[in-house]
Structure 1
Amino acid sequence: MVSILFFIKRKKLLKDGTASIFVRVTFNRLSSEMTTGKSVMPSHWIAAKGRVRNNTLINKQINSFLDQLEYTLHDLTLQIQKEGKQVSAKEILDRYKNLNVPKPQIGILALYKEHNQELKELVGISVALGTYKRHETSLKLFHKFLLHKYQMEDVAVNELNVEMLQKYQHYLMATRHNNNNTAVKYIRNLGKIINVAVSRKLIQSSPVEDMKLKTEMVDKGFLTKTELTKLSDKEFGVARLEQVRDVFLFCCYTGLSYVDVHSLTANDIVEENGRLWIRKARHKTNVMCHIPILKPAKNILDKYSSSYHKDGKLLPVLSNQKMNAYLKEIAAIVNINKDLTTHLARHTFATTVTLANHVSIENVSKMLGHSNIRMTQHYARILDASIENEMLNVEKCYE
């Protein structure tokens, strides 16, 4: 049983003639004491009650403080017992002292740097390089925002609020000219770090949860069969453009993403029943994709089979940035008025190459390496040709 006693030391008075009020906590016959930070005129102290005379407003406030302190010390004792730890008078008072010590202020960027360093150490083990780079970019952008808007190098996590994040969203869209989805992506990246602060009990909740963040459906576009033929038939006098075109077409006919075609090796190609297949775990999700290699894709592989074997790779894939830059040049040359990107090739495979040719969405999902069909539906379009073919059957009913 814990015992709590308040007392004064009459022989050690302060300069103003008052005596400091101490508290002594005793548990299992072992005691520990500390000053309460309050003092009283010795003549006002009632030793038998451990309180001051309740005759002035100040004395009433002191008694109220001592009552609250006694309650808090008993409550801390119960907390220690619930935690299954050893109760002692010193531990009880130490806990009380820590209640009044302000927690160190940790900056969101400092926390973000710590997070990114841990990501960096896991790259190639359980984290993709792209994930690490994405968070590095997100960190730099929020740093630029703080400098631009507040002339600050960092901000304490407990000072982050909805208003600041809304200003960050405005900065991304109005100053950096990012679209809505990109801005939402960067805020959600920052939200992951704020959640780390919540888990460490640095803050109670994340202000991101109070924001109305919605991504908009964006049609990435795709190439029609006519455009695919036009691109395939075009002869380029520049080797780099021809190589980029070939890699792009290969993605159109296989549905591989940039990172997966970049890492494609002979080990990913298998032959079954006389047909070549791509059996490869997607870099992004680690879900296996199973893709029969169509003749146009096989022709591209054959084209580079004897001339390109760098690091075991099957195709001469440039950096994604260069690929997309050259694809814009190619689109202008071939007179395709669309924003050609490596990702548009994946949409073309899902739409023009497969779904338009009556391949089931379930099989398209397997070839794309999606974990569920809802992801595939993002790529699916209803083509005018499909509508026309189906409506021809309806028309026969009214002849």
Structure 2
Amino acid sequence: MAGIPQIKIVFDRRKKASAVNPGTVEIEVSYNRERVRLSTGVAVLKQQWSGKEVVNHPQADHLNEQIRRVYDGIHEKMSSIASTKGEYDLSLLKKVKKTKLQGSSASFLDWLEERIDMRPVTESTRKQHKVMLNCLRDFGLIRFFSDLTPKNIRLWDDFIRKRVTAQASVHGYHKRLKPYIVEAIQFEKLESNPYDGMRISRGKSEGIKFLTEEERDRVEALELYGMTEKVRDMFIFSCYTGLAYSDLVKIKKSDVFRQGEDYCIRDKRMKTGMPYTIVLLPKAIAILKKYNYNLNLMSNQKCNDQLKIIANLASLHINLTMHVGRHTFATWALTKGVGIETVSKMLAHSNVAMTEKYAHVLQTSVIQGFGKLK
């Protein structure tokens, strides 16, 4: 006989806990040189853990009760997986690693992760929601439904502001959380909305950032090599097509077709599902051919990092990102006299009102009016 299983509480096994980053609390089961670890759904800062329990935490009693419930649940499970010979098969415990153990359903973050995975949104939007979830995990004070209080929401707001500076970005985190708060109330997991009576400002828009025709040509003329050249070409392709990063990286050779003398692409936007048809201008098709019709060359983040270098080389005083390419195409088309309804279709906007923001920036009608007066 190999003895009896050893069950213990383990904190911060991955050695990530600090004064600002939480460490996880797990239950470790050891038997016959085999180990299985199961999450308790609890994570606290280094100074909030002592011995085998949570301390110096506003919800310490609640979190310790959560840990005890999971610990007791595993003890009960052990008796059910023992064989008639008194031996234990820990592989049976592994099968319940991702299931809800007794009491763990009180974890708001586990529930939130499930709802994010189930939400009918695009993968790019789902990724943004996961960023919000990870921010909550790092914050550490909102773990359970009982933690969703106006005070903790305000403290989370302070925490977010240490990560991002723009008020619009701060507002974005709250905007992504709010629908799930409403769902939690509908599922009777919350009695009231912690955002009631609280207003999170959207902040002032910095306006649409775009390059003039001369600035775009300056970027295009740079002599670059390697990774920086690839990113510049992806950006210029966006300037000549109006395609967002998520749409241009999924182009395949089979998406391109001939219509008369023109090369065209017909597809649906990744973000909205809106269909679009574009004609590939000579410089755009040249870039596609250069990379064998595959522009999935770099992640969006790495592209934006390289574009900072490119902006400096081109003496541009703007925070250059891949999306600036789409804005550049829109404003370029309007200044060349393309009608706003046509530009709207080129960008696959769901309505013309979305396109009008470019005309507002350019004040196209005002400029045309003065042109007539001349």
TM-score normalized with structure 2 length: 0.66
Q: How does 1:248-397 map to 2 (within 5 A)?
A: 248-304=235-291, 308=292, 313-352=293-332, 354-383=333-362, 387-395=366-374
Question: Alpha-carbon deviation of 1:385?
Answer: 8.0
Question: Alpha-carbon deviation of 1:386?
Answer: 6.9
- Whether the 8 Å CA contact 1:108–1:194 is kept in 2: the answer is no
SS at match of 2:106: coil
Q: How does 1:60-79 map to 2 (within 5 A)?
A: none
Question: Alpha-carbon deviation of 1:109?
Answer: 1.6
Look up the match of 2:209.
221
Q: Which amino acid aligns with 1:155?
A: F
Look up the match of 1:166.
154
TM-score normalized with structure 1 length: 0.62
Task: Determine the C-alpha separation between the residues in 1 that align with 2:364 and 2:325.
Answer: 20
- Whether the 8 Å CA contact 1:112–1:139 is kept in 2: the answer is yes
1:125-176 residue CA offsets vs partner (Å, 9 max, x unmatched):
x54332332222111212222x3xxxx461325x523343233223212x22
Q: Is 2:221 aligned against 1:233?
A: yes
Question: Which of 120, 136, 143 is the aligned partner of 1:154?
Answer: 143
Look up the match of 1:109.
109
Task: Determine the C-alpha separation between the residues in 2 that align with 1:355 and 1:209.
Answer: 43
Query: Larger Rg: 1 or 2?
Result: 1
Task: Determine the C-alpha separation between the residues in 2 that align with 1:118 and 1:325.
Answer: 32
Q: CA RMSD in A?
A: 2.5
Q: How does 1:21-40 map to 2 (within 5 A)?
A: none
Q: How many residues align?
A: 271
SS at match of 1:278: strand
SS at match of 2:240: helix
Structure showing the higher helix proportion among its residues: 1
Q: Which amino acid aligns with 1:224?
A: T
Q: Which runs of 5 or more structure 1 residues have no equivalent in the other structure?
A: 1-102, 120-125
Q: Is 2:121 aligned against 1:133?
A: no
Task: Determine the C-alpha separation between the residues in 2 that align with 1:243 and 1:378.
Answer: 30
Task: Determine the C-alpha separation between the residues in 2 that align with 1:298 and 1:235.
Answer: 20
Look up the match of 1:35.
none
- Whether the 8 Å CA contact 1:111–1:193 is kept in 2: the answer is no
Look up the match of 1:96.
none
Shift in alpha-carbon separation, 1:316–1:186, aligned structure 2, 3 A: closer
Task: Determine the C-alpha separation between the residues in 2 that align with 1:104 and 1:245.
Answer: 49
SS at match of 2:109: helix
Question: Alpha-carbon deviation of 1:204?
Answer: 4.1
Task: Determine the C-alpha separation between the residues in 2 that align with 1:381 and 1:358.
Answer: 15
Q: Is 2:231 aligned against 1:244?
A: yes
Q: Which amino acid aligns with 1:253?
A: Y
Q: Which amino acid aligns with 2:267?
A: K
Look up the match of 1:60.
none
Look up the match of 1:90.
none
Shift in alpha-carbon separation, 1:321–1:289, aligned structure 2, 3 A: same
Q: Which runs of 5 or more structure 2 residues have no equivalent in the other structure?
A: 1-102
- Whether the 8 Å CA contact 1:105–1:156 is kept in 2: the answer is no
Task: Determine the C-alpha separation between the residues in 2 that align with 1:360 and 1:163.
Answer: 50
- Whether the 8 Å CA contact 2:256–2:266 is kept in 1: the answer is yes
Shift in alpha-carbon separation, 1:167–1:367, aligned structure 2, 3 A: same
Question: Alpha-carbon deviation of 1:374?
Answer: 2.1
- Whether the 8 Å CA contact 1:198–1:204 is kept in 2: the answer is yes
